[in-house]
């Protein structure tokens, strides 16, 4: 399997994880509704505006927090991590032939997976969700709203919320980020200087990527893109913070919510560099 | 007390003279006509027995309830009620029996008998029942509740005998008397002096001469005193009232092996009389039973409402006699005689049948026709049936009376009323105490009879000095159900009382549930001790886990305790450990299992495996 194909599997894993989070929200919605139903109501079904009910909000949030991650969700997280393993395994296989160190590649992969798992399994990644439920509950209690209306409001809010946006972005980007970090590290270690800017074009492929796609580039050329970006001469869709180091991870920039474009840098042996590309590099004085 | 034959004869003749007016074919049936009572309260005891029996036993028809018609009730309705009688109040007694049964549970008492032969007989050898206690538990309660002045006699049904050269039978010198419990209703107790002697009419009858015929109507009684059992049998011609009195056998235990079934003690004139604890409920249940049957009779009538429909006068014309139907009658004159005949067309009703062969009611289509019906399809036919309000009222009354009857015996805590408030744990607790107070004397008396039976059996086998047994009976009866315990524990958890109170109540619950199995009780308690989160609420447990304060093995022990207990229990020596050692072993097994799986749950384990890959 090529690095690009593995990258596709990583993207699918990230998409599946997004769906798993949405499914978790639907399940959590029912659990939260059950908890909210324990609030004291009057004969007309309105939540009583009492101090006891207000105090109960924390208990409800604690219980929801304690039971948020069910076994189904944990299985989905495991599946997502399996996707990262596929990406990592393929990248390692490819780079091993270039003399990359397995221990280091594994360390990068492990860190990426542990980071993603930690974020996916931390209730602090769901601050927006809890904040929304909390404020709806408070409003519902102090205004003595009908319990059914509050339940409906919470259900809608939970259904449409999910993991916090910034965390989602990191989870979506993790397969690509991990692959690029591994590639960069292996290349540095093996002294690789030629990379193919690989990836199939799509309708939204930005001009910056289109201009580089399919060609082999010298490592110094790539660093130069990063330096230009850092100097304020970036391009549409570029991620803030792109520089001569991070260019290897961020590459073309945003792809939807993901902090990584769809392209990959694949190491290339000098003998495989196309003559046109070699001539360009030679003209720049990068090769003899 | 040991009686002489003369004394036996005197006692019998005296009691016989009292009972005589009530006898029909040698049996006491018409007790209401007795001028004098064979013992204080005899008539009242029979009345009470008759009132209670229909509520505790199948087959006892409450004749007294259905003897008189209610105002406005027809004889046909009364007869229908008799024909369709059902014991609809039996469930109340069944609840009482089940409640008392819980008090008699084997874990509540303990019997040790030093003599192996007696122990074997008492625990397995009693004819039909096997164990004597089975008789006490299964047969005695119903009889005791219905007839507390009845007696239980511990007498042998047969004794080994030997015959001499002349063919005369006598008790074998080395015969072992094996007493069996026999219940005699109070109507058969023709006399007694507490603890001294008892005169009992047996169910069998002797052969006597009545005219030229021999009939089995002769009286056969036993008179049991502290040493002997005397048999009194009517012989010869019935009208001669001649009785043979013979010493049947000597039981020799120093006291009459007969005991009253007992109930609530009360003084009647100058004597002690036992009345049934069910008596107060019987009146209420009588009303419920009678009303139930009145309701059922009423329902049976309502099931078949009368159809009311329009009709046209019958216009049948009898061409033979040249007459027309008038009010259902065809009438003509033959000679000077007027002859009348029921109209064959309308059957005497005077109206034409408007129902078609397919059951439709036919009315005139055009209300403005020459002979309008002045009705339309919607009001041409109706059904006359009374309102069901009175039926509903009767149903409520029946339920009210049954509820009251249960309340008298504190049996009303089992099921909360539909639509009503569920009882609080405090109420349940009070009910449980009241119920225990009601049941205790009943259970205590059953144990008194059991104890008396063991003593009689043992002494008949080993002599009057035998007392080599120990019966430990319950001092308190805990009759709380699982639902009672769960209700109380839930309320305590909600109330915010200290957790150790929940723990203590839970321990009581465990003790109650596993009371009949010491090993099971010990294991359950060990599990409760080993699991530190056992008494925490679900939310608290979730908080412990999500906060990382619960170790994986603790989570495993909390949620998979039974599995861990099962595994630990298979280890040799686990049963011999004391409670704390068992708890410690359970924790150790949980740690081992947790370490083996490496995670608190398989789902989490899969995640860790993927990260470690």
> Given B538, B546, B611, which is nearest A81 (Cβ)?
B611
Confidence label for A108 from pLDDT (cuts 50, 70 and 90): confident
**Is a pLDDT exceeding 70 seen at residue A256?**
no
Q: What is the DSSP letter of B299?
A: H
The size of chain B, in residues, is 613
Strand partners for B21: none
* Per-range mean pLDDT, top range of A62-71, A179-188, B56-65, B453-462: B453-462
| pLDDT tens sequence across B305-363 | 777 777 778 888 988 888 899 888 999 988 888 899 999 888 888 888 777 777 777 77
For residue A255, the model assigns a pLDDT of: 63
Nearest to B607 among A78, A110, A123 (CB): A78
> Which residues of A are less than 8 Å from B603 in CB distance?
71, 74-75, 78
Q: Is B496 on the interface with A (CB under 8 A)?
A: no
Nearest Cα residue to B15 out of B198, B194, B164, B289: B198
pLDDT of residue B478: 63
In B399-458, the residues whose Cβ lies within 8 Å of chain A are none
Question: What SS3 state is found at B307?
Answer: strand
Q: Is the pLDDT of residue B571 over 70?
A: yes
- Residue B539 forms contact with A (CB below 8 Å): yes
Q: Judging by beta carbons within 10 Å of its beta carbon (0-12, 13-18, 19+), is residue B463 exposed, middle or buried?
A: exposed
Does A58 have pLDDT greater than 60?
yes
A71 CB neighbours in chain B (<8 A) are: 601-603
Helix axes B561-569, B579-597, angle to 10 degrees: 110
**Contact criterion met (CB < 8 Å) for A77 and B607:** yes
β-partners of residue B169 are B163
- Cβ–Cβ of B606/A71 closer than 8 Å? no
Mean pLDDT of B513-530: 80
pLDDT at B231: 94
Which of B384, B475, B581, B486 is closest to B109 using CA atoms?
B475
What pairs with residue B24 in β-bridges?
B27
pLDDT at B477: 67
- Round to whole Å and give the CA distance between B182 and B457: 13
Q: Do B610 and A113 touch (CB under 8 A)?
A: yes
Closest CA relative to residue B404, chosen from B295, B222, B575, B281:
B281
Mean pLDDT of all residues in B552-572: 84
Kindly identify which residue of chain A lies nearest to residue B544, measuring between CA atoms: A66
Chain A interface, best mutation among B599, B603, B604, B605, by max A CB count within 10 A:
B603
- What residues of A are in contact with residue B610 (Cβ under 8 Å)? 78, 81-82, 84-85, 113
Q: Give which of A17, A31, A78, A117 to mutate to test B binding, by max B Cβ within 10 Å.
A: A78
Q: Report the pLDDT value the prediction gives residue B418, as an integer from 0 to 100.
A: 41
Domain ranges of chain B: 307-384, 517-612
The residue written with tokens 């019958």 in the block is B314
Long-range pairs for B122-130: beta carbons < 8 A, 24 or more residues apart: B122/B454, B122/B457, B122/B458, B125/B178, B126/B180, B126/B181, B127/B157, B127/B180, B129/B181
What are the sequence ranges of the domains in chain A?
Answer: 3-167, 193-283
* Closest residue in B to A78 (Cα–Cα): B607
Please report the pLDDT score of residue B16 as a whole number.
94
Note the Cα B490 to chain centre separation in Å. Answer: 32
pLDDT digits (tens, 9 = 90+) for A179-216: 778 877 777 777 778 888 887 667 677 788 888 888 99
Please report which confidence band the pLDDT of residue B431 belongs to, taking 50, 70 and 90 as the band edges: low
| Averaged pLDDT, A20-40 | 82
Task: Find the mean pLDDT for residues A67-73.
Answer: 81
Euclidean distance between CA atoms A217 and A246, whole angstroms: 16
For chain B, the average pLDDT equals: 83
**DSSP assignment letter at B124:** I
The pLDDT value given to residue B11: 95
Report how far residue B188's alpha carbon sits from residue B44's, in angstroms, rounded to the nearest whole number: 14
Provide the terminal-to-terminal Cα distance of chain B, rounded to the nearest Å: 94
The residue-averaged pLDDT of A119-128 equals 81
Q: How confident is the model at residue B260 (pLDDT cuts 50, 70, 90)?
A: very high
Q: How far B613 CA sits from the closest chain A CA (Å)?
A: 8
A167 in Cβ contact with A125 (< 8 Å): yes
Among partner residues A59, A71, A113, which is closest to B539 by beta-carbon distance?
A59
Closest CA of chain A from B604, distance in Å: 6
**ipTM for the predicted complex:** 0.72
Q: Give the model's pLDDT for residue B375.
A: 67
Q: Which of residues 35-94 of B touch A (CB under 8 A)?
A: none
Check if B611 contacts A (Cβ < 8 Å).
Answer: yes
How buried is residue B251: exposed, middle or buried, by Cβ count under 10 Å (0-12/13-18/19+)? Answer: buried
Instruction: From chain A, pick out residues whose CB is under 8 angstroms from the CB of B606.
Output: 74-75, 78
* Main-chain phi, psi angles of B177, to 5 degrees: -85, 120
Averaged pLDDT, B35-48: 90
pLDDT of A272 above 50: yes
The percent of residues above 70 in pLDDT, for chain B, comes to: 89
């Amino acid at each position: 399997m090529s690095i690009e194909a593995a990258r596709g599997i990583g993207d699918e894993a990230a998409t599946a994880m997004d769906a798993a989070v949405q499914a978790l929200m639907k399940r959590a919605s029912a659990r939260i509704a059950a908890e909210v139903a324990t609030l004291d109501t009057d004969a007309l079904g309105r939540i009583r505006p009492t101090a006891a009910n207000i105090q109960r909000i924390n208990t409800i949030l604690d219980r929801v927090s304690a039971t948020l991650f069910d076994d189904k969700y944990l299985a989905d997280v495991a599946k997502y991590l399996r996707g990262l393993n596929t990406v990592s395994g393929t990248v390692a296989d490819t780079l091993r032939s270039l003399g990359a160190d397995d221990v280091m590649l594994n360390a990068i992969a492990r860190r990426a997976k542990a980071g993603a798992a930690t974020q996916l399994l931390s209730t602090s990644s769901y601050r927006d969700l809890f904040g929304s439920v909390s404020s709806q509950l408070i409003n519902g209690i102090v205004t003595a709203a009908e319990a059914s209306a509050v339940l409906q409001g919470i259900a809608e809010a939970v259904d449409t919320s999910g993991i916090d946006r910034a965390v989602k972005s990191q989870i979506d980007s993790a397969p690509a980020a991990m692959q690029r970090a591994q590639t960069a590290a292996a290349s540095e270690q093996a002294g690789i200087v030629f990379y193919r800017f690989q990836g199939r074009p799509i309708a939204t492929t930005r001009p910056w990527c289109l201009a580089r796609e399919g060609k082999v580039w010298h490592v110094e050329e790539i660093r130069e893109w990063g330096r230009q970006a850092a100097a304020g001469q970036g391009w549409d869709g570029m991620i803030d913070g792109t520089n001569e180091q991070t260019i290897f991870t961020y590459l073309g920039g945003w792809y939807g919510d993901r902090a990584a474009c769809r392209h990959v840098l694949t190491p290339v042996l000098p003998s495989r560099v196309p003559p046109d590309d070699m001539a360009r590099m030679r003209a720049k004085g990068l090769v003899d | 007390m040991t009686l002489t034959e003369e004394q036996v004869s005197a006692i019998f003749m005296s009691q016989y003279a009292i009972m005589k007016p009530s006898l029909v074919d040698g049996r006491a049936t018409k007790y209401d006509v007795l001028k004098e009572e064979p013992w204080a309260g005899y008539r009242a005891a029979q009345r009470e027995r008759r009132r209670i029996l229909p509520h505790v036993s199948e087959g006892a028809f409450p004749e007294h309830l259905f003897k008189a018609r209610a105002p406005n009730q027809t004889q046909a309705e009364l007869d229908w009620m008799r024909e369709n009688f059902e014991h609809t109040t039996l469930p109340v007694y069944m609840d009482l029996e089940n409640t008392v049964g819980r008090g008699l549970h084997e874990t509540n008492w303990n019997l040790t008998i030093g003599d192996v032969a007696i122990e074997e007989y008492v625990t397995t050898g009693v004819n039909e029942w096997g164990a004597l206690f089975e008789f006490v538990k299964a047969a005695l309660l119903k009889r005791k509740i219905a007839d507390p002045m009845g007696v239980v006699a511990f007498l042998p049904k047969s004794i080994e005998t030997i015959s001499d050269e002349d063919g005369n039978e006598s008790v074998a010198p080395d015969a072992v008397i094996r007493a069996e419990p026999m219940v005699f209703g109070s109507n058969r107790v023709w006399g007694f002096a507490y603890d001294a002697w008892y005169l009992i009419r047996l169910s069998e009858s002797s052969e006597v001469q009545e005219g030229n015929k021999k009939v089995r109507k002769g009286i056969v009684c036993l008179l049991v005193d502290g040493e002997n059992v005397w048999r009194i049998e009517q012989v010869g011609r019935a009208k001669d009232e001649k009785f043979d009195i013979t010493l049947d056998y000597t039981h020799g235990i120093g006291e009459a092996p007969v005991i009253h079934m007992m109930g609530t003690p009360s003084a009647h004139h100058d004597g002690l009389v036992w009345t049934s604890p069910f008596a107060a409920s019987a009146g209420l249940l009588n009303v419920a039973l009678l009303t139930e049957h009145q309701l059922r009779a009423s329902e049976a009538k309502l099931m078949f409402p009368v159809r009311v429909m329009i009709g046209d006068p019958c216009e049948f014309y009898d061409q033979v006699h040249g007459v027309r139907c008038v009010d259902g009658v065809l009438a003509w004159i033959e000679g000077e005689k007027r002859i009348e005949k029921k109209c064959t067309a309308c059957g005497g009703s005077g109206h034409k049948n408007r129902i078609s062969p397919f059951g439709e009611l036919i009315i005139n289509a055009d209300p403005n026709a020459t002979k309008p019906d002045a009705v339309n399809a919607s009001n041409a036919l109706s059904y006359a049936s009374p309102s069901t309000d009175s039926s509903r009222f009767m149903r409520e009354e029946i339920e009210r009376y049954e509820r009251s009857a249960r309340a008298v015996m504190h049996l009303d805590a089992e099921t909360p009323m539909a639509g009503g408030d569920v009882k609080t744990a405090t109420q349940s607790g009070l009910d449980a105490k009241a119920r225990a107070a009601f049941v205790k004397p009943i259970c205590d008396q059953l144990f008194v009879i059991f104890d008396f039976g063991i003593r009689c059996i043992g002494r008949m086998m080993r002599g009057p000095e035998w007392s080599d047994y120990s019966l430990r009976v319950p001092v308190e009866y805990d009759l709380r159900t699982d639902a009672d315990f769960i209700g109380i524990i839930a309320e305590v958890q909600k109330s915010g009382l200290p957790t150790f109170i929940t723990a203590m109540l839970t321990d009581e619950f465990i003790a109650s549930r596993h009371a009949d199995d010491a090993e099971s009780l010990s294991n359950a308690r060990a599990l409760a001790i080993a699991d530190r989160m056992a008494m925490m609420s679900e939310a608290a447990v979730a908080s412990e886990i999500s906060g990382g304060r619960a170790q994986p093995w603790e989570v495993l022990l909390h949620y998979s305790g039974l599995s861990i207990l099962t595994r630990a229990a298979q280890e040799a020596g686990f049963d011999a450990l004391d409670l704390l050692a068992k708890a410690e072993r359970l924790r150790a097994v949980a740690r081992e299992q947790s370490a083996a799986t490496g995670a608190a749950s398989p789902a989490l384990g899969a995640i860790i495996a993927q990260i470690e890959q």
